[in-house]
A and B are shown apart, each in its own frame.
Chain A
């Protein structure tokens, strides 16, 4: 047998098992074998630097719209100066990491799946193996590590720009008192919120890298197979980010003593 499952449930469970094995192999390799620094630096550039624009634009406009909508509601009860506090807490706890994760899943997850998928269908992955190179060492580990490093940085940038843009809109468009607006944001946005946001970012980075690599390495034949792998990498990593975000919120809140 070629390992293909007989029904969709079995296929799904086998897929989960294979992702778990790939994750274990990648982390074992990360801590056991020498990292190819050149490949890692290239991936860091591709993931971290090249994703700046899309993540920053998303963060800025989300911060602006969140502050505006909050102001519309808070203004009714004379709580205008608390608007940016809501933006700060939301961006740090949830939106920064989730939005950066979704944007990176769309840009980088798709690129990883397409690149590795093309390598698979053109036998380049088999060629790697014949050259005594483990595909996980060469293809997965640099991308995974680059993602684990880049995602928290991108998330912090997303959060900072979101709050900055929200402040700008609050002060210059909605005419909220700048001193109290900033004071309330600092008062209600705690260090622990940043810890939650960046911790989630690390997990989301790992999800995007592993799902993208897995889909690429297991894609079907031909252009159709690569296309499907690319689409599935984006869809599955996005859904996994959204679902895991809920459980991460509960887990991190419990671990950090908020619950």
Chain B
């Protein structure tokens, strides 16, 4: 279970998160939505311990990770897989080496077993036969799929997605959505998706939380959020911008 308690974070002079509190149950799938720059990715990085809060706590299965050292966090992070916005593939390594990275570092499996697992993971993300390619030879959508294969190969309990469909065309976005749902349903993992793509949030999230004004502003099922009468939520999920003063143009 993921539990975030009264999380506060300042970056430079900006207060980004101010008392964020929520819980995500084991096996639950949650989409975190909010406007660009509202702190969604910062929140995600706190959940996996890539950032430390100024105050508050992040509990993973009851263990507070917010004050752990980097070496202590390595043990906790074995529970996680993370797919980055830009895929963050190691560009000096081939696709195969990227996907096999965690398994090779653990040194628990033989090369033959690792090869088998890599092939299976690439099959899941529908990229068989790309083992020997370098990340630079792949398209944006393919890179994200490789990132997903790298995240699921060691069968984590929790998968975090940071803007998985940003910058992709609608067809590729749809295939990434389907992959996330398949991974969620087949592996029964806890899923946290940070996105401002409403279609992704609706399809992947069993629950949607909206981050607004540095806090969790709204939380509910996709139906509750998308039919919310609250003007802030309504405007966001329907993509309605604030009226812009254009009087200076005349």
Contact = CB atoms under 8 A, between A and B. Distances in A.
Q: Do A and B belong to a common assembly? A: yes
A133 B50 CA distance: 12
| B interface: dominant SS | mixed
Interface string A1-36: 110100000000000000000000000000000000
B54 A1 contact: yes
A123 B86 contact: yes
Contacts of A130: 48, 50, 77, 80-82, 151
Contacts of B10: 1-2
Interface residues of A, number: 17
6 contacts: A1-B10, A123-B88, A126-B50, A130-B77, A131-B150, A133-B105
Interface string A103-130: 0000000000000000100111011111
The 5 A-B pairs with the shortest beta carbon distances in the complex, nearest first, are A127-B88, A123-B88, A130-B82, A131-B102, A132-B77
Contacts of A122: 86, 88, 91
Nearest to A4: B12
Contacts of B101: 131, 133
A14 B76 CA distance: 29
B203 interface: no
Contacts of B90: 119, 124, 127-128
A134 interface: yes
B74 interface: yes
Contacts of B84: 123, 126-127
B132 interface: no
Contacts of A124: 88-91
Contacts of B230: none
A25 to B, nearest CB: 9
B45 interface: yes
A129 B12 contact: no
Interface of B: 10-12, 45, 48-50, 54, 70-71, 73-75, 77-78, 80-82, 84-86, 88-91, 101-102, 105, 150-151
Nearest to B12: A2
A59 B11 CA distance: 48
B55 to A, nearest CB: 11
B15 to A, nearest CB: 11
A71 B12 CA distance: 61
A126 B74 contact: no
B105 A129 contact: no
A2 B54 CA distance: 9
A138 B90 CA distance: 12
B88 A131 contact: no
Contacts of B71: 134
Nearest to A2: B11
B77 A129 contact: yes
B56 to A, nearest CB: 14
B146 to A, nearest CB: 12
| Among B12, B49, B50: residue with most chain A CB under 10 A | B50
A132 B82 contact: no
Contacts of A134: 70-71, 74
| Among A122, A124, A128: residue with most chain B CB under 10 A | A124
| Among A2, A130, A132, A138: residue with most chain B CB under 10 A | A130
Contacts of A2: 10-12
A72 to B, nearest CB: 50
Interface in A84-102: none
A1 B45 CA distance: 16
A4 B11 CA distance: 9
A126 B77 contact: no
A160 B77 CA distance: 50
Contacts of A127: 82, 84, 88-90
A11 to B, nearest CB: 14
Nearest to B77: A132
A133 B82 contact: no
A129 B70 CA distance: 9
Contacts of B73: 129
Contacts of A131: 77, 101-102, 105, 150
A67 to B, nearest CB: 43
B147 to A, nearest CB: 8
A126 B89 CA distance: 11
A55 to B, nearest CB: 25
